[in-house]
C-alpha cells in the first residue's frame, strides 16, 4: 500500500499538468513552476565544461570523489536545465556517495533529434577525456533523460568508445511511439502524463517526419547487445512504465545484465517528488545499493 505521505502528495497534485493542447512555451512554464531548488549549503557545486557542454559537478560531504555519475535531466526534450537539477543531483550524490555531474543539452523543438543526444555523447566523452576512468563512471537519466542515457551508451558502443560501468533509467522514456500497454490502457491517475501529451512531445523532438522507432530516439527498438549493466526503475501507474519492462526483457534477451525495479502503485518520476516521501527515499536507496556493486 502507498504511504500516507505519498497519498497526501498525490491528492494535492492537480490534473492538467500534461495538457496535449499546451504550446512548448506553456510546457516550459509548468516545468519551471515545479523546478527543483538549489543545493544545500554543504554541497559543493563546481561549474564545468564536458566536451563543450555546460555542466556542474555536485559533491557532498558523503561523496567518494573517485565514483562518478553523469545524470541526464528530464523535461520531455523541450524543457529543463542543469541548474534546475542541482537539488536532485545533490540528493543522488548523497545517496550514491558519488560526484554527480548534471549538464544541459539543446532542447526541442528549436534543436531536434539528434541534437540532445549529440550533447549527451559529447558530455560523456568529455568526462572520460578529463580523466574519469570508465570503470568509475555511470550514466543515469530520468524520464526522457533515461532514454537519452541509454541512447548515449548505444552511440558510444557503436563508435567503439570506452563504455561507462553502468546505466540507470529512472522512469525512463524509451519508446517515443508510446506503444506500451501502460500508455494505451492507463492503470491509474498520473497527474504528470497522458499518452497524447507524450506523443506530442516526441514529435517536438523528432520533427514531423522523424521516426519514433529510430533506435537512438527510442532505445526500446535498438540492438542492446554489448551494453553495460542496466538498472531500470519505474512505477506501475506511470504511463511510461511498460517502456522499462519491455526494455528489460529485450536487454536480458541480448545478454545484458539488467535489474528491473518496478513499484506497482507509483506514478511517473515518483523518485524525485518533493518532500521525504518514503517510497522515493527507498527507491533512491535501491539505486545506490545497485550502483555501489557496479562502481565499488
C-alpha cell at 75: 523535461
Q: Which of 202, 229, 207 is nearest to 148 (CA)?
A: 202
Distance of alpha carbon 97 from alpha carbon 70, whole angstroms? 13
Strand 53-59 versus strand 44-50 pairing type = antiparallel
Residue 257's φ and ψ, nearest 5 degrees, are -70, 125
Instruction: Say which residue the cell 511511439 belongs to.
Output: 177
Q: Which of 215, 197, 210 is nearest to 113 (CA)?
A: 210
The packing angle between helices 144-159 and 115-129, to 10°, is: 60
What is the sign, positive or negative, of the torsion defined by CA atoms of 119, 100, 243, 276? negative
**Half-sphere exposure of residue 137, counting CA atoms within 13 Å on the CB side?**
21
Q: Mark whether 268 is an active-site residue.
A: yes
Q: Contact, 55 vs 96, CB < 8 A? A: no
The residues near 294 (Cβ < 8 Å, ≥ 6 apart) are: 138, 165, 166, 228, 229
Annotated catalytic residue within 63, 79, 140, 143: 143
Annotated catalytic residue within 238, 242, 243, 244: 238
C-alpha cell at 221: 527498438
Q: Which residues are catalytic?
A: 143, 238, 268
Amino acid at each position: 500500500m502507498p504511504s500516507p505521505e505519498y497519498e497526501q502528495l498525490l491528492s494535492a497534485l492537480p490534473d492538467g499538468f500534461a495538457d496535449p493542447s499546451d504550446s512548448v512555451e506553456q510546457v516550459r512554464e509548468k516545468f519551471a513552476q515545479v523546478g527543483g531548488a538549489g543545493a544545500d549549503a554543504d554541497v559543493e557545486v563546481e561549474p564545468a565544461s564536458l566536451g563543450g557542454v555546460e555542466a556542474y559537478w555536485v559533491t557532498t560531504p558523503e561523496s567518494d570523489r573517485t565514483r562518478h555519475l553523469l545524470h541526464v535531466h528530464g523535461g520531455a526534450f523541450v524543457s529543463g536545465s542543469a541548474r534546475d537539477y542541482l537539488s536532485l543531483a545533490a540528493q543522488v550524490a548523497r545517496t550514491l556517495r558519488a560526484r554527480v555531474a548534471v549538464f544541459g543539452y539543446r532542447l526541442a523543438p528549436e534543436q531536434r533529434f539528434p541534437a540532445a543526444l549529440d550533447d549527451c555523447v559529447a558530455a560523456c566523452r568529455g568526462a572520460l577525456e578529463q580523466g574519469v576512468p570508465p570503470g568509475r563512471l555511470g550514466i543515469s537519466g530520468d524520464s526522457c533523460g533515461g532514454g537519452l542515457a541509454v541512447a548515449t551508451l548505444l552511440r558510444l558502443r557503436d563508435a567503439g568508445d570506452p563504455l561507462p560501468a553502468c546505466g540507470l533509467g529512472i522512469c525512463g522514456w524509451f519508446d517515443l511511439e508510446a506503444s506500451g500497454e501502460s500508455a494505451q490502457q492507463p492503470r491509474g491517475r498520473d497527474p504528470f502524463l497522458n499518452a497524447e501529451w507524450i506523443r506530442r512531445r516526441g514529435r517536438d523532438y523528432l520533427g514531423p517526419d522523424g521516426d519514433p522507432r529510430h533506435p537512438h530516439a527510442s532505445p526500446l527498438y535498438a540492438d542492446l547487445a554489448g551494453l553495460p549493466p542496466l538498472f531500470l526503475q519505474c512505477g506501475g501507474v506511470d504511463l511510461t512504465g511498460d517502456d522499462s519492462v519491455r526494455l528489460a526483457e529485450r536487454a536480458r534477451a541480448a545478454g545484458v545484465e539488467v535489474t528491473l525495479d518496478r513499484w506497482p502503485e507509483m506514478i511517473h518520476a515518483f523518485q524525485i517528488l518533493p518532500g521525504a516521501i518514503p517510497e522515493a527515499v527507498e527507491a533512491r536507496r535501491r539505486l545506490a545499493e545497485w550502483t555501489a556493486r557496479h562502481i565499488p
